[in-house]
Amino acid sequence: MLLILILNAGSSSLKFRLYEMPAEKLILKGLAGRIGERESYLNINGESVKTTIPDHGRAMELIKEEISHRLPGFSEKLKAIGHRVVHGGDRFIRPTVITDEVKQKIKELFDLAPLHNPPNLTGIEAAEQYFRGVSQVAVFDTAFHRTIPETEHRYAIPENFYREGIRQYGFHGISHEYVGKQATERLGNTGAKIISLHLGNGASITAIDAGQSKATSMGFGPLPGLIMGTRSGDIDPSVIFYLVENQDYNIGDVKRILNKESGLIALAGSNDMRDVEQDYARGKPEAVLAMEMYARRIKKYIGAYYALLGGLDALAFTAGIGENSPLVRQLASKGLDHLGIVLDLAKNINPQAFQGEIQAENAKVKIYVIPTNEELAIARKTYTLLYE
């Protein structure tokens, strides 16, 4: 038995999944949550226990203890640990074995992903402390988007900024790549043109051609693109200048507003799509406006990516909202018949009953609901890098 542990470290959480490879069998999954807070907890396979977890090191120690208790011989069978790292910048375009040099380069990218790369590195260091001698692999969220052409990823600003690394990077790449592969396999066409919609509290859309990312909605950072739970998505930069120059906001205020106080929470009073949908059903004007704006932004990107791809074989919805909201899928697909995108309303209500395929009969474009599995994707990449 060859075991690979997958870690996804956030600022106050440490998610994990343990796989037997290459069988891709999920053995255990869990989460250490509210790290550093008064009431932390550890959840293993759905069973949650309150405990004290002051830092990620203690979280890693508890996870190791729990897995060892449930799986005798775990430490001897564990052969690798795969880590999700959000930003790889220009340096990391493929899965990479972690060394001191790699850790230093991840640290140098902190300014590009201040909310994500620091805890990602903390998770790596905690794993190294408690699993000495086990191979550690970093899988980067930005790597999938490295195939986006210069005509798409470059900004129309002075060249010296581009040389300094200011360009579009894109995010959610692990998810988009996984979902794109799933859709490609269903279509039986390796040259398929696919639009992947990762719709969660953070949201992005990607145009995929023959398995490669060709355009994506997030940019230098994760703020632009679609309307999200607390992020504004696309906004005229002149608004930022106006707020700073004429409304006495400093740049930190604007950064906070656009990242944490905008999007659905600004429009509808909640960043939880379930709350927004309930208010939408009641006809609450704020929620109706929010849903219409949310869907409209998605449709604008679908239209743009349809044009860039020169056609479309499949539209794939994924992540928390994309997988679980029939209303969002309906509104986002509405009025796109001229592009061959036609939803079957009955199938949309219960996609699982139709293997996640929900387009109308004889529709030109397939519409899929595909659960994302970033952890499995990381496990596959880790195994391939080390053993194939």
Question: Among 55, 90, 100, 141, which one carries the catalytic annotation?
Answer: 141
3-class DSSP string for 322-333? HHHCHHHHHHHH
- CA dist 158 and 155 (Å) reads 9
90 is catalytic: no
CA 331 from chain centre, in angstroms, equals 22
Contact 158, 91 (CB under 8 A): no
Are 302 and 291 in contact by the 8 Å Cβ rule? The answer is no
The string of DSSP codes covering 224-245 is SSS--SS---S--HHHHHHHHH
- Closest to 227 (Cα-Cα) out of 257, 194, 201: 201
CA–CA separation, 95 vs 378, rounded Å? 9
**Torsion region of 265: left, alpha or beta (phi above 0 gives left; psi -120 to 50 gives alpha):** alpha
Please name the residue that has the structure tokens 């990823």.
153
Residue 239 corresponds to which amino acid? V
Three-class SS of residue 365? coil
- Residues labelled as active-site residues: 141
